[in-house]
């Protein structure tokens, strides 16, 4: 690992030894990068000039902001950032009464192919480094001057398809010496890569796992999410039960409602039957239509009905409050519309 912002303190200590400097410098560098959020060695004023010179061989990841859109309705901000290789990614800042929440991307694109998702239309370009995940939060905090207290890994990409980098990201984000965000204030959303859910459970982290379910049975799930051809719903739900057993953390099920596809009374009844024994919470999200697909969002009435049906079976349900509905709606759309525009200008 030569990416300095992705290094743990222990790795930085080893690097100091390699560079012929004192291991205690590691803590200073770590604090500059992850607490003070500086983007260059010149700002690390308590390091000697010669050490700063040596360190310049290890470039500091610093995303460049390309564009920001601000919602006039609720102050939500969508950021477009450029990575050092020219790729662009999207992150969102949501301002709630209880604090600021940032939704980050974990990959450039996604290879999972969910039918309603704008993030997957161009396929997967590459995984993000831990530093590139962290820097989305760091730059937003630095640009706004406002503290970020919650992080959700729900932007472009499948985080469990970038598993090692995700774990490193979580450790640096939540450990002492950096932003030190509580694991309880972190949510990671997955389309359901079963073996990785078992691996994650064994880490016994205190974060929330959100599972994108979106259907009450395998037939309907396969229509929406190709990953359902690989893992059955029974397998996914069993992995979620295991996650709860190992961590004590209640699972959140994400359920995007598509009119006439997965929003009927029968769908609600079938879903209830499968998850009523679980310690879980269901988040209902009316699907955000994207122009490449013909999916239509469920009516407000259908969403309410679905909620009531689940509640009657004793299931905890919320309807996700829509944030920033006046700015490029669905996840991945800002990035896509930006890329289409730059392509057409070439
Ligand atoms: C973009 S994904 C990223 C995290 C992970 N790959 C996953 O699928 O859970 C985050 C959530 O957004 C949902 N989503 C994607 N496109 C959507 C759309 N057009 N409308 C509503 N929800 C959508 C996904 O199903 C998932 O629950
Ligand atoms: S919903 Fe998640 S897993 Fe599915 S294509 Fe979009 S980003 Fe990938």
Cα torsion through 330, 336, 340, 346, rounded to 10? 150
174 and 295 share a domain? yes
Ligand 1 centroid distance, CA of 221 (Å): 14
88 and 12 share a domain? no
* Model pLDDT for residues 169-204, shown as the tens digit of each residue: 999 999 999 999 999 999 999 999 999 999 999 999
Annotated binding residues for S-adenosyl-L-methionine, as ranges?
157-158, 189, 212-214, 288
Q: Using the predicted structure, report yes or no on whether residue 208 has a pLDDT greater than 80.
A: yes
Higher pLDDT, 337 or 85: 85
76 and 16 share a domain? no
Is residue 71 within 8 A of residue 79, CB to CB? The reply is no
Q: Which domain holds residue 341?
A: 64-345
Catalytic residue among 191, 240, 280, 331: 331
15 and 106 share a domain? no
Ligand 2 centroid distance, CA of 19 (Å): 42
Q: What is the pTM of this model?
A: 0.96
**Is 240 noted as a catalytic residue in this protein?**
no
CATH code of 151's domain = 3.20.20.70
User: Which ligand lies nearest to the CA atom of residue 253 in the structure?
Assistant: 1
The C-alpha atoms of residue 189 and residue 184 are separated, in whole angstroms, by 14
Which pLDDT belongs to residue 323?
A: 77
User: Which stretch of 91-100, 112-121, 302-311, 334-343 has the lowest confidence by average pLDDT?
Assistant: 334-343
**Is 331 noted as a catalytic residue in this protein?**
yes
Q: Using the predicted structure, report yes or no on whether residue 333 has a pLDDT greater than 80.
A: no
**Percent of the chain predicted with pLDDT > 90:** 88
95 and 20 share a domain? no
265 and 295 share a domain? yes
Which pLDDT belongs to residue 346?
A: 59
Give CA 46 to chain center in angstroms: 34
205 and 292 share a domain? yes
The C-alpha atoms of residue 145 and residue 26 are separated, in whole angstroms, by 26
Band of residue 2 on the pLDDT scale cut at 50, 70, 90 = confident
105 and 153 share a domain? yes
| Number of domains composing the chain | 2
Interface predicted TM-score of the whole assembly (ipTM), two decimals? 0.99
Which pLDDT belongs to residue 345?
A: 63
Ligand 1 centroid distance, CA of 84 (Å): 26
**Percent of the chain predicted with pLDDT > 70:** 94
101 and 148 share a domain? yes
Arithmetic mean of pLDDT, 135-160: 97
Which pLDDT belongs to residue 192?
A: 98
172 and 155 share a domain? yes
Q: Using the predicted structure, report yes or no on whether residue 232 has a pLDDT greater than 90.
A: yes
Is residue 179 within 8 A of residue 34, CB to CB? The reply is yes
Q: Using the predicted structure, report yes or no on whether residue 340 has a pLDDT greater than 80.
A: no
Structure tokens at 299: 């009516």
143 and 231 share a domain? yes
Is residue 210 within 8 A of residue 186, CB to CB? The reply is no
Answer with the one of 35, 55, 75 that is the final residue of a domain: 55
Q: Is the CB of 228 under 6 A from ligand 2?
A: no
Annotated binding residues for [4Fe-4S] cluster, as ranges?
110, 114, 117
Which pLDDT belongs to residue 1?
A: 58
Cα distance between the two ends of the chain: 36
Compute the half-sphere exposure of residue 194: CA atoms within 13 Å on the CB side of its CA: 14
Which pLDDT belongs to residue 325?
A: 74
17 and 109 share a domain? no
Q: Using the predicted structure, report yes or no on whether residue 308 has a pLDDT greater than 90.
A: yes
CATH code of 15's domain = 1.10.150.530
Cα torsion through 323, 94, 113, 108, rounded to 10? 140
The secondary structure of the chain, three-state, reads: CCCHHHCCHHHHHHHHHHCCCCCCHHHHHHHHHHCCCCCCHHHCCCCCHHHHHHHCCCCCCCCEEEEEEECCCCCCEEEEEECCCCCEEEEEEEEECCEEEEECCCEEECCCCCCCCHHHCCCEEEECCHHHHHHHHHHHHHHHCCCEEEEEECCCCCHHHHHHHHHHHHHHHHCCCCCCCCHHHEEEEECCCHHHHHHHHHCCCCCEEEEECCCCCHHHHHHHCHHHHCCCHHHHHHHHHHHHHHHCCCEEEEEEEECCCCCCHHHHHHHHHHHCCCCEEEEEEECCCCCCCCCCECCHHHHHHHHHHHHHCCCEEEECCCCCCCCCCCCCHHHHHHHHHHHHHC
């Amino acid at each position: 690992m030569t990416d300095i912002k992705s290094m743990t303190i222990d790795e930085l200590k080893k690097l100091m030894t390699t560079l012929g400097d004192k291991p205690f410098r590691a803590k200073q560098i770590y604090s500059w990068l992850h607490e003070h959020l500086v983007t260059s060695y010149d700002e690390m004023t308590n390091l000697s000039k010669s050490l700063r010179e040596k360190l310049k061989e290890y470039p500091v990841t610093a995303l460049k902001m390309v564009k920001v859109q601000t919602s006039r309705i609720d102050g939500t901000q969508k950021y477009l950032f450029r990575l050092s290789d020219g790729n662009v990614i999207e992150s969102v800042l949501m301002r709630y009464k209880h604090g600021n929440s940032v939704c980050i991307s974990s990959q450039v694109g996604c290879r999972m192919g969910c039918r309603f998702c704008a993030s997957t239309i161009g396929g997967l370009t590459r995984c993000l480094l831990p530093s590139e995940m962290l820097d989305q939060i760091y730059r937003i905090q630095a640009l706004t001057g406002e503290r970020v207290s919650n992080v959700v890994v729900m932007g472009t990409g499948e985080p469990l398809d970038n598993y090692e980098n995700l774990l490193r990201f979580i450790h640096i984000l939540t450990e002492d010496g950096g932003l030190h965000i509580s694991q309880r204030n972190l949510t990671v959303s997955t389309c359901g890569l079963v073996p990785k859910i078992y691996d994650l459970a064994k880490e016994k982290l205190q974060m929330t796992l959100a599972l994108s379910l979106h259907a009450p049975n395998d037939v309907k799930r396969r229509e929406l999410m190709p990953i359902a051809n690989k893992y059955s719903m029974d397998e996914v739900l069993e992995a979620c039960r295991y996650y709860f057993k190992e961590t004590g953390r209640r699972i959140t099920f994400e359920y995007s409602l598509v009119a006439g596809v997965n929003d009927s009374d029968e769908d609600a009844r079938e879903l209830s039957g499968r998850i009523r024994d679980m310690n879980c919470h269901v988040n209902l999200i009316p699907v955000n239509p994207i122009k490449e697909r013909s999916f239509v969002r469920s009516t407000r009435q259908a969403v309410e009905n679905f909620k009531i049906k689940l509640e009657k079976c004793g299931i905890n349900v919320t309807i996700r409050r829509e944030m920033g509905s006046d700015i490029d709606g669905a996840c991945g759309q800002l990035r896509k519309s930006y890329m289409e525009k730059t392509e057409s200008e070439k």
